[in-house]
Amino acid sequence: MRKALLLCMAFFAVLIAACGGDRDGATGQQIQVAFHDVPYRTETYLRIGYTLETWEYEKYNLELQQIKVLNADTREELLVIDKKDLPLIHKNPIDPNPYFVTDTLKHYYLSIQLPIPLGKTPPRAVSHRLLLKNTADRIEFTVEGAVFSPRTGEAPLVIASPLKGKNLVFFNQSTMGYHFYVLIFIHNGIFRPERYAVDTGELKEDLTTYLKGDPKLNTSYYNYGRTLHAVADGRVVHVQDGRPENSGDAKNITFNSADELAGNYLVLDIGGGRHAFYAHCIPGSFAVKKGDTVKEGAPLAQLGNSGNSTAPHLHFHIADGADLWTSNGVPFVLKEYTKTGIYAEDGKPGVPVPHERHTNAMMENTTVFDVE
């Protein structure tokens, strides 16, 4: 299975229309939307997440060059994804892993987040134009289809933050990559357990670094040992404790099962079929046990470095089931946070910004924020 999971600090990293044109392998083939999620708002965009299903075009010597996402009514180009930026494409043969026997695929699958700037009217319907090239004669042609109507009449789940503090960063949620790309093909189903998961970080006050001292020591990281809080009222349905931690960035833990990738973790049933997952906790730090009921904001455990992790962090997501793998991640937004900076992903220092309070929103991938 494709290794589309978690930034370098993630717990699933081991696993992982009508047609236009008349070239061989295109006529009669289709692209369609396999599933699409409730849109969610950040401080910048309304983000619409979905997955496309296509025919196995590479069997016909075809190569995908570009994807254009269009307003189906006006034909306005909403997003253009060139070859170098194409999403991960799931196809046979799926990369093997020691934990699952995956199904044989008969289609290709790729996931997209469509960002619509705030203040702009979302499209009533979205369509797609794929540009392909025949690798034999180098002739290009297009295929159009996969029309769907975004679920703009529905609202995402609103929760409290699982962490409180200053100079926080939530990676990998508002981006086309890592968690969002994960698809697991087992039991004749397509599961996307960490679809909108985040990996959390905490920066020094000047927004320059995550740690001071030896990177092989967990205590060198500013976020290590932070309290993890209940994001809503709920009931604890699973606690896994007793697993060892990695030593800072050493990634020196080995695994015997897929469940061990999550390290020490907790699952909180918050009602409505929704479950909150907290992974990579410090062993022995849990303040609750299976069966306990908790109120929003209650302390649950401490942020650690257990499982498949390359530095202390919390892996957090909301899913429609209590199982780590055969469930589907759902979008969520925070009740409140204050944007205080922008983090430079290329390793350069972050940039402070005038404080902006946001409600019922999620941050962008490089947003630095505070939660009281």
Query: What are the tens digits of pLDDT across the range 279-319?
Result: 999 999 999 999 999 999 999 999 999 999 999 999 999 99
Give me the percent of the chain exceeding a pLDDT of 90.
84
Q: What is residue 24's predicted lDDT score, i.e. its pLDDT?
A: 52
User: By three-state DSSP, how is residue 334 classified?
Assistant: strand
Q: What is residue 96's predicted lDDT score, i.e. its pLDDT?
A: 84
Task: List the chain domain ranges.
Answer: 31-148, 157-371
Distance, CA of 159 to CA of 270 (rounded, Å): 10
Prior bond of 93 cis (ω within 30°): yes
Average the pLDDT over 180-206 and give the result. 95
Distance, CA of 307 to CA of 11 (rounded, Å): 6
157-371 folds as Glucose Permease (Domain IIA) (2.70.70)
Q: What is residue 135's predicted lDDT score, i.e. its pLDDT?
A: 86
CATH of domain 31-148: 2.60.40
Q: Does residue 63 carry a pLDDT above 80?
A: yes
Q: Does residue 354 carry a pLDDT above 50?
A: yes
- Cα angle 150, 152, 157 (rounded to 5 degrees) comes to 115
Q: Which of 254, 249, 248 is nearest to 307 (CA)?
A: 254
Q: What is residue 242's predicted lDDT score, i.e. its pLDDT?
A: 98
Residue 30 pLDDT class (50, 70, 90 cuts) = confident
CB burial of residue 82 (10 Å; 0-12, 13-18, 19+):
exposed
Distance, CA of 9 to CA of 356 (rounded, Å): 28
Distance, CA of 239 to CA of 219 (rounded, Å): 24
Distance, CA of 322 to CA of 116 (rounded, Å): 32
Q: What is residue 177's predicted lDDT score, i.e. its pLDDT?
A: 85
Tokens 């254009």 found at: 68
Q: Which of 332, 350, 334, 331 is nearest to 342 (CA)?
A: 350
Which residues are 131's β-sheet partners? 66, 142
Single-letter amino acid code for the residue at 208: T
Q: Does residue 237 carry a pLDDT above 70?
A: yes
Q: Does residue 21 carry a pLDDT above 90?
A: no
> DSSP per residue over 266-277, as a string?
EEEEEETTEEEE
Residue 28 pLDDT class (50, 70, 90 cuts) = low
Average the pLDDT over 58-73 and give the result. 96
Q: What is residue 212's predicted lDDT score, i.e. its pLDDT?
A: 95
Average the pLDDT over 134-144 and give the result. 91
pLDDT in tens, 314-338: 999 999 999 999 999 999 999 999 9
- Which carries the bigger pLDDT value, residue 182 or residue 28? 182
Structure tokens at 44: 């910048």
Residue 3 pLDDT class (50, 70, 90 cuts) = very low
- Which carries the bigger pLDDT value, residue 252 or residue 20? 252
Looking at residue 8, the DSSP 8-state letter turns out to be S
Q: What is residue 5's predicted lDDT score, i.e. its pLDDT?
A: 33
The arrangement of strands across the sheet holding 140-148 comes to: 77-82, 62-71, 126-134, 140-148
Distance, CA of 263 to CA of 278 (rounded, Å): 10
> DSSP per residue over 283-312, as a string?
TT--S--TT-EE-TT-EEEEB--BSS-SSS
Mean pLDDT of the residues in the chain: 91
Q: Does residue 134 carry a pLDDT above 80?
A: yes
Single-letter amino acid code for the residue at 75: R
pLDDT in tens, 81-103: 999 999 999 999 998 888 989 99
Q: Does residue 8 carry a pLDDT above 80?
A: no
Q: Which of 144, 129, 125 is nearest to 74 (CA)?
A: 125
What is the total residue count of the chain? 372
- Cα angle 29, 35, 38 (rounded to 5 degrees) comes to 145
Residue 23 pLDDT class (50, 70, 90 cuts) = very low
Average the pLDDT over 340-362 and give the result. 90
Pick from 13-17, 51-55, 306-310: least confident: 13-17
> What's this model's pTM, rounded to 2 decimal places?
0.91
Q: What is residue 26's predicted lDDT score, i.e. its pLDDT?
A: 56
Distance, CA of 213 to CA of 193 (rounded, Å): 35
Average the pLDDT over 350-369 and give the result. 96
